[in-house]
Structure 1
Amino acid sequence: MEPTPKSLTNWLASGSETSSLHRRLLVISGSESFCRGQLTHLLKQQHPKEVQILGQALLPEAPAIALSAFRQRLGTECKLAVYDAYEALRPNAVLALAGTVTRGGTMVLCCPDFDSWPAYQEQNAGHYLSYGETLRFSEIRASLIPQFYSAAGVAIIREGHEAILPTPLKAVKQDASPWPFKSAEQQSLFEALTLPSATPSALLTADRGRGKSTLLGMLAGYYLATQRKSVLVTSRYADSVTQVFKGLKLLCPQAEQSDKYFYEFGSLHCQWVPLDHPALKQCQDQLLIIDEAAGIPIPLLTALCAQASQVLMTTTMRGYEGSGRGFITRFLPWLTDNRPDICHYRLTTPVRWYPEDPLETFWYKAFCLTQQDDVIEEAQTTSCVNQHEINITLADKSQPGNPLNQQLLPLLMQAHYQTSADELIRLYDSPQNETLLAWAGEKLIGVVNFQSEGTKALAPLSAAIACGTRRVNGHLSAQGLALLTAAPDLATLTYWRINRIAVLPAYRRQHIASKLIQSLLARANDANVDALTTSFGVTGDLQRFWLQAGFIPAKPGLKQDASSGEYSLLMLRPLTAKCQSYQPLISQRYRQELQLHPTPALFTEPQTSLDDSALAECCTLMLRQIIDGKRSVQHARGPIQWYQQQLSQSSLVPANDLSLLGDFISHINDISTFAKRYRLTGKKAAELEIKACLERLIGVN
């Protein structure tokens, strides 16, 4: 049955008696009260400063933090890390927390009883469930349970069952490296970067726990102490640079800390600054350190590298960091072309734990990340395949741990910059998410992942969605098209939105992606789907690909993606007569919005016949919705311009109002300038001024 307090205390203490033991995973499964009781006992055995708690369902009070704040744990270390799966299971957060546990430490995962966990309704499932979806059974959670039992060294305390408390696994100790280095690899790289002839700038990439941030700190200390150069450190999160400052003190112990993020060494300093700090634009005479660079928007990252004469960067690219692939596919090519002096190095030897660490191995296997490096390397080769030998199947969502399915997530991660380990939950647990797989024998060479959206499930909300007063989770296509056209019916059509399409680099340009789309199209026609859609960061090549696949541009995004800096584009392939009847209006509204876009040249112009009466009816409806307070001005940019053009032909319109609308359209992408010109307090006041103007004008007409 459940362990006695003494046996649990002895088991936990056995991991701290010697530093030559591997890290451990303890799974506590049972009722909330049972799990809370076990946790309370465990926490009493550990110093509070050596504990991290992620998830607030069981222990809502501090120091526990919500799963959504998991990035706050990056750069920290602990002996006992607790993950509360009662809140939710998020692979990104699990991996981030696991990376904080040091040698001989323990990670604890608390979850409902194994019999009920797969069907458990999580407290926070908004990251993968769309409006109207209910998860009845989690294949991912179900797949973890047998892995807990089969993996070496995993301890299990389950309510009502005999406790499994295996002896901690011994590690093979590595030869000690000369102080202050934790590995021969770390030492070798430091020496290479401090040679008189060394390249002054570098990029260090590694999985977590390899000592890359500490190495950056040692290099910062070296430059302070021997090169008489100040150092600026920046990152997305301030607390993530804790290890950088620890490394600084190793090489420059005389540096004095004047506040949390500022160290002084004589007239020199090492300082952390936020990404928008003005000092980053004037760092020509300082060393710039960028920690966890993959978490920084690429436009900002390229600007930082362009401004700094000497820059050292680190980043993790596997697991929790959702923009890691964007860093590889978007930033590294820019670096090669624009900063060839920044040499790329990779650290592989763990220093926070021992090689062959069972905790890291367990989670990488559980979340299908073990093959990622192999997939990345495959980009260097080319393989030809006979089209007749390609087999396309629908992914079996009931077997996420199947060796064949283990290829799916790594393929998506190397092909799309926004794919992270969290995608695994959507792939297998989102009820309306499906994936087509292209096989060459038993090798997965291509995938298309798609999500069912819209349908009559949105009917009660369709009117509110179409004017913008209601926005629900998911249903990107249905909501976007209904809002674009003020047509509630478009919210209730059935869409299959293509989330991801990917082909292994070695098999590209062999029409495999087209074959996948044709297969999806046939399935959609059989299922009476109204339209296929897709949304992506717009580039010329991608637009051409989707145009050739029969899609039309429908809605340009107005905001740049935080990671890639690209604008999104929603494209559509109508399949049924009902959806096709809206195609002219969709194209005309697309044309309207494109005329006012900050960068219209990025997008393809639509080719469609005109229907002025339908457009006029749509624009008039949107303007009246603004007056009625049901639509924001920003969701009717095109109609306002259309109305201003209509009024310009009339001599009865007050000149001041006509001028006001014209100025607003001229500054549509710079509302602050418009607000200043008319002495308004900001964006909201500017929208109220336009609303009042429309009320006057439409009332006159």
Structure 2
Amino acid sequence: MIAGLARGAKREAEATNERRVLVLAGDRDRGFDAAYDAIEAVVSDESDDVEGRRERASVSIVSTREGFRFEEHRPRGADELLGRTREVVVLDCHEQFVPNAVGRCVGAVDGGGLLVLLTPGLDAWPAIRDRFDDSLAVPPYEIDDVTGRFRDRFVDTLRSHPGIAIASLGADGPGGDAIERDGRTGPRNDAIGASSQRAPAERPAAPPNAAFPTAAYEACLTGDQVRAVRAFESLATPGNAVVAEADRGRGKSSAAGIAAGALALAGADVLVTAPAFRNAAEVFERAEELFERCERDENEPAPGGDAHRLDATGGGRVRYRTPAEAADLPDDPDAVIVDEAAALPVRLLERFLDAPAVAFCTTVHGYEGAGRGFSIRFRERLRESRFAVRDVRLDEPIRYARSDPVEAWASRALLLDARPAVDEAVAGAALDGATYRTLAPDDLLADEALLREAFGLLVAAHYRTEPNDLARLLDAPNLAARALVADGRVVAVALLAREGGLDAETRRRMYEGERVRGNMVPDVLTSQLRDEAAAEPRGLRTLRIATHHALRGEGFGARLLDEVHGEFGTDGSESDGVDYFSVGYGATPRLLRFWRRAGYRTVHLSTSRNDASGEHSAIMVRPVTAPGEDGPGSDLLDRHAVTFRDRERDGLSDAHRDVEPDVVVGALRACSAPAPTDLTEAEWRSVVGASFGPGMYDSAPGAFRDLALAALIEGDAGSNERLDDREERLLVEKVLQGRPSESVADDLGYVSTGACMRALGDAYKPLVERYGTDFALEERERFTSD
């Protein structure tokens, strides 16, 4: 029965060049036996060599179980399938059902192929807790606190969507099996089968006057790919940019790889980046194939580099670097290709605009991260840049037909195509007319439109939103979601995580090095900053906050935060209350200002840049209690604000020497601990002499550092004279970071080193006025009196 069900689904898939899903629900051991029956049925031919056929079949098994034939992957390692296709993929969902693995396995199934899901009985499955659920049970919560709403919804999609066959398996063998759905799509296949059936496709021809080799266009499979490769030709000339957008499976990475290879064959140095090398693997595979096509007549190919580099015989090359590394444009590449650009933050993308020529390739709907910051904010920045921009979109699927029901099912089940309300639906929404509401998981599960709009806003706000995040939203006991709704549409959303409140034993283990899931701020403060008591107060961390892009700048985000503060912070002693609010994010000047204005204060700035965002991460805290009042949250902030201040005084000339000055200013401005300015008389003589007389900065660098730290923390508070932006950057770069005077003068636009140092003295004049003792002011009079 299972063999017949699988064979029927596979034949229909092949006839339409679509894919099908076969769900084998029930006992796990029986499921594996049935999976092998299904594989044998769909890969068999007239030969009797069944075992040989099984070994040759294009099959991957994603499972926690050991000892299987074919190619095996662990569920959390299913990303190894990215960029690869299989005739059959078997995903074991018993021990851990990882939503990300579902998306990756779907993407690995070729047209005419079969995705086999091994699941518990579908009626019982939502109530079963597994290893993925255990990852959602962050302390102090336990696995019994995790719900099964995501699986409820997932099972509903399996039972209602076309192209999905379901067999209920009996533990005692085939006699207990029953077919719930055959997965056939019905009469439509009789009408479209002939036209959809796979046939040798006519290769698209190379366009006239093409600059790339003919072999580059012979490698293209669709007209869309030809148009994309032709657009990439412009990268041979500085001042050009290309944006290639496509849904998954349209061949944009292949087109980028063909273009990268063609550019390298012409002698260009092509730098490729993506969130991880696996995302760029297809680019390198296509480039290498083109090398082999075009260099097969050469006597000897160029010596290869490492796995992340390809060398062409003519001196060109294709090389990979992580986004943070590539943004520095190492070794001055001729062209840069950024794959999966939507999975990178806008600020990092902007750094690639310094390249001679650049291409941004992005998946419109995908599970690697589909942040719409690229399409909404970065595209505007790109249009304003010096580049001549060519846009190309790839719509034609390469590996399966457009009518493929599995693509539509995966988009629905994993919300790969979730998006905010259309602009017209929220245009004119008034801030005071928006309603604050709880997005309870049961409400989201019951209202698909509400779920799609809320999750779509989270996707739009963050450069890395995955199907696993959808499961967390619906099932994780430590998470809460809140929103502002105007005229029935979600216009702002916040995803919040409860942290802390941990018992003494857990705090001890954390202090001694054990990682505790889901408690990011307590973990950093405890394990890195050595505060064993930091995980005792209860915190509420903002994981993500998003405002509809059509309403940005109108106060919706600030209003939503105010509502959250009012709901959770009225009384820290209540069961729903917290002791402090917190946030962690890639620090930029704009975000630092936003969170400071919302009452958050800096307690940490990471020493290294995040590989994906390219930013140093900031952690900020807002106590529930009012300033000056005692309480667990205020005590936590007080002691960590002081240690942050003292750490930065020394660390800015060491681990933080390369942090952007505006980020340093923003982080210090949000520090709640004032910096002491109790200089000795000798130190004041040096400062006053360098500011008003013939003295030199080098005579007392520590005194200058203390005054700079105080001035940047205090800003213009209590003073009629504030430093301008360039003066603040000067204090950061020269005084706190200790950069050489020559590089500071060059970076800040001073005409000479001498002019830079004179400007430094001038910058200290108002600081002498603000912080100077009577002795310092008397010393100043020696140089200012007539």
Normalising by the residue count of structure 2, what TM-score does the alignment of the two structures yield?
Answer: 0.68
**What is the deviation of 1:445?**
0.7
Indicate the residue corresponding to 2:665 in structure 1.
601
Indicate the residue corresponding to 2:733 in structure 1.
none
**What is the deviation of 1:16?**
6.1
**What is the deviation of 1:38?**
1.5
What does 1:602-681 align with in structure 2 at a 5 Å threshold?
602-605=666-669, 608=672
| Aligned residues of 2:426 and 2:491 also touching (Cα < 8 A) | no
- Please tell me whether residue 100 in structure 1 is matched to residue 147 in structure 2: no
- Please tell me whether residue 537 in structure 1 is matched to residue 547 in structure 2: no
Partner amino acid, structure 2, of 1:512 = F
**What is the deviation of 1:419?**
2.6
| Aligned residues of 2:492 and 2:548 also touching (Cα < 8 A) | yes
Indicate the residue corresponding to 1:183 in structure 2.
222
Indicate the residue corresponding to 2:685 in structure 1.
none
CA distance in 1, matches of 2:672, 2:637: 8
Larger deviation: 559-568 or 333-342?
333-342
**What is the deviation of 1:223?**
5.1
* CA-atom RMSD in angstroms: 4.1
Indicate the residue corresponding to 1:588 in structure 2.
642
CA distance in 2, matches of 1:586, 1:245: 49
Indicate the residue corresponding to 1:237 in structure 2.
277
Q: Match for 1:118 among 118, 126, 129?
A: 126
- Unaligned regions of 5+ residues in structure 1, if any? 613-640, 643-665, 670-701
Q: Secondary structure at the match of 2:361?
A: strand
Indicate the residue corresponding to 1:645 in structure 2.
none
- Superposed CA offset, 1:556-579 (max 9, x none): 222212211112222222125422
Q: Match for 1:11 among 8, 13, 16?
A: 8
Indicate the residue corresponding to 2:156 in structure 1.
146
CA distance in 2, matches of 1:202, 1:610: 49
| Aligned residues of 1:468 and 1:483 also touching (Cα < 8 A) | yes
What does 1:324-473 align with in structure 2 at a 5 Å threshold?
324=371, 335=382, 340-372=387-419, 378=423, 383-398=427-442, 399-400=444-445, 402-403=447-448, 404-455=450-501, 457-465=502-510, 467-473=511-517
What does 1:69-80 align with in structure 2 at a 5 Å threshold?
69-80=77-88
CA distance in 1, matches of 2:11, 2:641: 68
Q: Secondary structure at the match of 1:406?
A: helix
**What is the deviation of 1:155?**
0.5
**What is the deviation of 1:296?**
7.2
Cα pair distance change 1:313/1:59, threshold 3 Å: farther
- Unaligned regions of 5+ residues in structure 2, if any? 44-53, 171-176, 206-217, 677-704, 707-735, 740-786
CA distance in 1, matches of 2:417, 2:673: 51
- Please tell me whether residue 502 in structure 1 is matched to residue 556 in structure 2: no
CA distance in 1, matches of 2:615, 2:129: 36
- Superposed CA offset, 1:526-584 (max 9, x none): 53321111122222222222222222222222221221111222222212542224443
Q: Match for 2:242 among 185, 202, 210?
A: 202
Q: Secondary structure at the match of 1:542?
A: helix
Cα pair distance change 1:293/1:60, threshold 3 Å: farther
Q: Secondary structure at the match of 2:61?
A: strand
CA distance in 1, matches of 2:167, 2:273: 42
CA distance in 2, matches of 1:25, 1:477: 41
Cα pair distance change 1:49/1:223, threshold 3 Å: farther
The number of residue pairs the alignment matches comes to: 606
- Please tell me whether residue 109 in structure 1 is matched to residue 173 in structure 2: no
Partner amino acid, structure 1, of 2:622 = R
CA distance in 2, matches of 1:511, 1:229: 47
- Superposed CA offset, 1:400-432 (max 9, x none): 362222211111111122333321111111111
Partner amino acid, structure 1, of 2:390 = C
Indicate the residue corresponding to 2:184 in structure 1.
167
Cα pair distance change 1:435/1:108, threshold 3 Å: same
Cα pair distance change 1:301/1:14, threshold 3 Å: same
| Aligned residues of 1:554 and 1:587 also touching (Cα < 8 A) | yes
Partner amino acid, structure 2, of 1:490 = A
| Aligned residues of 1:222 and 1:252 also touching (Cα < 8 A) | no
Indicate the residue corresponding to 1:30 in structure 2.
26
CA distance in 2, matches of 1:668, 1:113: 65
**What is the deviation of 1:87?**
4.0
Q: Secondary structure at the match of 2:224?
A: helix
Partner amino acid, structure 1, of 2:503 = L
CA distance in 1, matches of 2:563, 2:77: 40
Q: Match for 2:618 among 548, 564, 569?
A: 569
**What is the deviation of 1:496?**
1.3
| Aligned residues of 1:484 and 1:555 also touching (Cα < 8 A) | no
Larger Rg: 2
**What is the deviation of 1:40?**
2.1
Cα pair distance change 1:224/1:668, threshold 3 Å: closer
Cα pair distance change 1:37/1:389, threshold 3 Å: same
Cα pair distance change 1:53/1:326, threshold 3 Å: farther
Indicate the residue corresponding to 1:673 in structure 2.
none
CA distance in 2, matches of 1:474, 1:61: 36
Cα pair distance change 1:242/1:55, threshold 3 Å: same
CA distance in 2, matches of 1:480, 1:246: 42
| Aligned residues of 2:272 and 2:337 also touching (Cα < 8 A) | yes
CA distance in 2, matches of 1:391, 1:41: 55
Indicate the residue corresponding to 2:522 in structure 1.
478
CA distance in 2, matches of 1:34, 1:415: 43
Cα pair distance change 1:272/1:548, threshold 3 Å: closer
**What is the deviation of 1:443?**
0.8
Cα pair distance change 1:194/1:156, threshold 3 Å: same
What does 1:511-526 align with in structure 2 at a 5 Å threshold?
511-524=555-568, 525=570
Q: Secondary structure at the match of 1:490?
A: coil
Indicate the residue corresponding to 2:691 in structure 1.
none
Q: Secondary structure at the match of 2:542?
A: strand
Cα pair distance change 1:362/1:668, threshold 3 Å: farther
- Superposed CA offset, 1:264-294 (max 9, x none): 88757765656579x984575x666554455
**What is the deviation of 1:237?**
2.6
| Aligned residues of 1:126 and 1:473 also touching (Cα < 8 A) | no
Cα pair distance change 1:110/1:75, threshold 3 Å: same
Larger deviation: 392-401 or 245-254?
245-254
| Aligned residues of 2:62 and 2:90 also touching (Cα < 8 A) | yes
Q: Match for 1:578 among 631, 640, 662?
A: 631
| Aligned residues of 1:330 and 1:564 also touching (Cα < 8 A) | no
| Aligned residues of 1:543 and 1:604 also touching (Cα < 8 A) | no
Normalising by the residue count of structure 1, what TM-score does the alignment of the two structures yield?
Answer: 0.75
